[in-house]
Amino acid sequence: MADETSWISHYDDDTRKETQDIDSLSEPGEEVDKDGTVISLDIMTDDLLDRILAYLPVESIFRASSVSKRWFSIVTSESFSWNPSNSPPQKPWYFMFTSSDEPTGCAYDPNLRKWYCIELPFIGTSNWIISSSYGLVCFMDSSRVLYMCNPITKRCKKLQEPYGLRFSDYGALAMSVDKESHSYILAIVKSKQVPENFSQWDISIHVYKSEEETWATPLTEVLIGWRGGEESVICNGVLYFLVYFTGGVPSESRHALVAYNVSGRASQASLRRSFISVPCSLTCGRLMNMKEKLVMVGGIGKHDRPDIIKGIGIWVLHDRKWEEIVRMPHKYFQGFGEFDEVFASSGKDDLIYIQSYGSPALLTFDMKVKQWKWSQKCPVTKRFPLQLFSGFCFEPRLKIAP
Amino acid sequence: MSKTVKDAIETIPTDEINSISLSLVRSEILTKVIEYCKKHNSAQMSDVDLMDWDVEFANVHYTTLFDLVLSANYMNINCLLDLVCGKIADMIKGKTPGEIAKLFDIKDVSTYEEDN
C-alpha cells in the first residue's frame, strides 16, 4: 500500500514516540515465529477481528478503517460491537482546503490537536457551497452539481439537483440528518434577479427528502430590495437563511435573517413578514447549528464605514431575539493579521471555528467553557500572496453513508 | 472455565470419559491456557495481583497471542479471550494503517483510492 494514498499523514511526532515505547516483541520485521512460518492477522474470523477492533479508541478506529477492505467493512458495519459511548464525546473536526489544483486538504482533530491530510474525491478548484450534519457533508458547486459524502469513509454519491437550479444567481445550501433513521433533508434557497426589474428578486426554496429521493418546491416569492445569498442552516426543523439589502431606499441594516419551517406542513406567512433583524451592523454573517440552536458569527462593521470590519461577535437566537454570547478579544482578532470583512466560520455542538480567507490560521471558540484557542499550526502554508483558504466543520463518523 | 469443556463433560456419560477432543489446540498453547485457567480458578491472589499476572501472561510474541485468541475462542473461555484481544488492540493503537498492515502481515490492503 503506497503511503501517498494512505489516509493519515503524520505531522505529529508524538505518535512515532509512542510506537517506539511499545514492547520490542511487536516491532515490524519480527513476523516470523519459532517454526519460521509467517502468521497474519488475516487468519482471524470476522467476529474475532471485530472483537479485537472493538477495544480501540476512536482515533484508532478511523485509522483501522484504512488498513484493508476487510477492516473497513468490519468497522463500518452496523453490527460492529465498538461502543461509542465508552469513549469521550468527540469534538467536531475542521476540514481546510486551499484554492490550488490539489485535491487534498487537511482535517483538524481538536480532540488530539492533530492535522490529518485527507484526499476528497473532487475538491479541486471549484468554489464550493458546503453544508454538513451528523457525519455527512453536502457539496454544491458553481454549476449547481450536488454531492453527498462522508469525508472519513470517502463514500460519495451524486444527487439529482432540482430543476432550474443552474440558472440561479445565488444558492444557499442547508441539510439536516435524522440521527435515528439516518435519512436527511436538504434545502436550497435560490435567488434570481428579475430581468426587467433589478431591485426584484425571485426567491425559491427547494427541499429534498432522502427517503423519497425527490425534490419539492414549497415556496416561491418575489422580494423587493432584498436577495438571498449563500448562507443558510437548518436548526430544529427550521431553515434559516441570510438575506442582503440590494439598494433602493437606504435601510439601517444591510442584513436580515429569514426563518422558514421545513418540517411542518403548516403553510407559512410570506418570507418578508418573517424577517428577523440582525443585532447590529454586520460586514458578514455565518450561520451554524449548535445543538439545535441557531448561532451566528458576525463581522461587526464600523459605524461610519459599515463595510470595514472592526471585530467579531457571536450571537445565539432565542425565539426571534438575539443574545450576544461573546466578542472576539482584540488580541485574537489581531492574531489573524489582515482580516477582510468576510471570513469563514462554521461550528457544531459546542465548538466554533473561525478562519480568515487569506491564511491557514484557525481559531476555535468553545461555547461550553467560553474559551478561545488557536489550533495547532496547519501543515498547509501560504505559498503565494493571493492564495485563499477556506474550510468547513464536520463530525467524523464511520457508520453513516450518503 | 471453558464452556466447550464444560459442555463436553455434560454431554458424555461420566464413565466413558477418557479424553476430551481438543484437536485444534496445539500442546504448547493448551499448556498456556491451562496455566491461565488454574491461576484464575485459585482464589489465592488479590484482584490487583491477578491483573498484574494477566499483563505478564499476555506479554508474549504476537503469534502466540493469535493462537491464544483462536484457542480461547474454540474453548469458549471469555475472560481469556478478552485479555488477549485487548492486548492485540494495544499493539494496533497508535500505528498508521501502513504500519499495522506490515506488522500483522495483512494482505488485501487495497483502499478505495486505489480502486478508483
Q: What is the pLDDT of residues A2-11, one digit of tens each?
A: 333 333 333 3
DSSP lists the bridge partners of residue A220 as A204
Report pTM. Answer: 0.76
| Overall average pLDDT of the A299-321 stretch | 89
Instruction: Give the CA distances from residue B90 to residues A23, A29, B68, B70, in Å, rounded to whole numbers and listed in that order.
Output: 11, 18, 16, 18
Q: What is the pLDDT of residues A160-186, one digit of tens each?
A: 888 776 678 899 999 999 988 999 999
H-assigned helices in A152-258:
none
Of the listed ranges A62-71, A97-106, A340-349, the least confidently predicted one is A97-106
Mapping DSSP onto H, E and C, the string for A93-162 reads EEEEEECCCCCEEEEEECCCCEEEEEECCCCCCCCCEEEEECCEEEEECCCCCEEEECCCCCCEEEECCC
Which residues in chain B are contacts of A43 at CB distance < 8 A?
A: 66, 70
Residue pLDDT, tens place only, B55-74: 888 888 888 888 889 888 88
Contact A28 B99 (CB under 8 A): yes
Instruction: Answer yes or no: is pLDDT of A327 > 90.
Output: yes
As a whole number of angstroms, the distance between CA A256 and CA A233 comes to: 14
Q: Across residues A268-295, what is the average pLDDT? A: 91
- The alpha-carbon gap from B104 to the nearest alpha carbon of chain A, in Å, equals 5
Residue of chain B nearest A112, judged by CA positions: B94
What does the mean pLDDT of chain A come to? Answer: 82
Q: What is the arithmetic mean of pLDDT over A251-280?
A: 83
Closest-approach residue (CA) in chain A for B91: A26
Chain B residues whose beta carbon lies within 8 Å of the beta carbon of residue A26: 62, 91, 103
Q: Which residues of B touch A42 (CB under 8 A)?
A: 104-108
In percent, the amount of chain A with pLDDT more than 90 equals: 40
Predicted confidence (pLDDT) at residue A87 exceeds the cutoff of 70? no
Lowest mean pLDDT among A198-202, A205-209, B32-36, B112-116: B112-116
Find the closest chain A residue to B113 by CA distance: A5
Closest residue in B to A152 (Cα–Cα): B112
A51 contacts B85? CB cut-off 8 A: yes
> For residue range B78-91, what is the model confidence (pLDDT) as tens digits?
888 999 999 999 88
Q: Does B104 touch chain A (CB under 8 A)?
A: yes
Top pLDDT among A117 and A262 is at A262
Q: pLDDT band at residue A33, thresholds of 50, 70 and 90?
A: very low
pLDDT greater at residue B44 or residue A136: A136
pLDDT of residue A102: 64
The per-residue pLDDT of chain B, averaged, comes to 77
Cα–Cα dist A186/A203, whole Å = 16
Judged against a pLDDT cut of 70, whether residue B16 lies above it is answered with: no
A-B Cβ pairs (cutoff 8 Å, strict): 130
pLDDT for the residue A325: 96
- What per-residue confidence (pLDDT) applies to A32? 42
Higher pLDDT among residues A312 and A59, named by residue: A312
Q: A378 versus A266: which is more confidently predicted?
A: A378
DSSP string for residues in A200-214? EEEEEEEEEETTTTE
Q: Mark yes or no for CB contact A154/B113 under 8 Å.
A: yes
* Residue A103 pLDDT exceeds 70: no
In this complex, do A1 and B94 lie within 8 Å of one another by their Cβ atoms? no
CB of A379 within 8 A of CB of A11? yes
DSSP letter at A329?
A: -
Q: In chain B, what residues touch A62 (CB-CB under 8 Å)?
A: none
Per-residue pLDDT, B10: 66
CA–CA dist A78, A397 (Å, integer) = 12
Does the beta-carbon distance from A39 to B63 stay under 8 Å?
Answer: yes
pLDDT bin (cut points 50, 70, 90) of residue A14 is very low
Partner A contacted by B19 (CB < 8 A): no
Please judge whether A121 and B81 are an interchain contact, meaning their C-beta atoms are less than 8 angstroms apart: no
What pLDDT does A343 receive? 92
**pLDDT-derived band of residue A85, with 50, 70 and 90 as boundaries?**
low
Q: What does the pLDDT read at residue B43?
A: 65
B97/A1 Cβ within 8 A: yes
Tell me which residue in A33, A38, A68 faces B109 most closely, judged by beta carbons.
A68
Q: Which residues pair with A314 in a beta bridge?
A: A297, A326
pLDDT for A350 equals: 95
Edge-first strand order for the sheet with A104-109 is: A114-119, A104-109, A93-98, A389-394
Q: Which tens digits make up the pLDDT trace of A364-394? A: 999 999 999 999 998 888 888 888 888 999 9
Selected residue of B79, B87, B108, B111 to mutate for chain A interface (largest A Cβ count, 10 A): B111
The complex scores an ipTM of 0.80
pLDDT of residue A125: 56
pLDDT of residue B13: 56
Interface of B with A in 46-65 (CB under 8 A): 59-64
Q: What pLDDT, on the 0 to 100 scale, is given for residue A29?
A: 36
Which residue of chain B comes nearest to A13, CA vs CA?
Answer: B94
Residue B23's pLDDT band, with cuts at 50, 70 and 90, is low
Find the CB nearest A23 among B59, B105, B108.
B59
When CB atoms are compared, the residue of B62, B106, B116 closest to A67 is B106
Q: Which three cell numbers stand for residue A298?
A: 458576525
Mean pLDDT of the region B29-37: 86
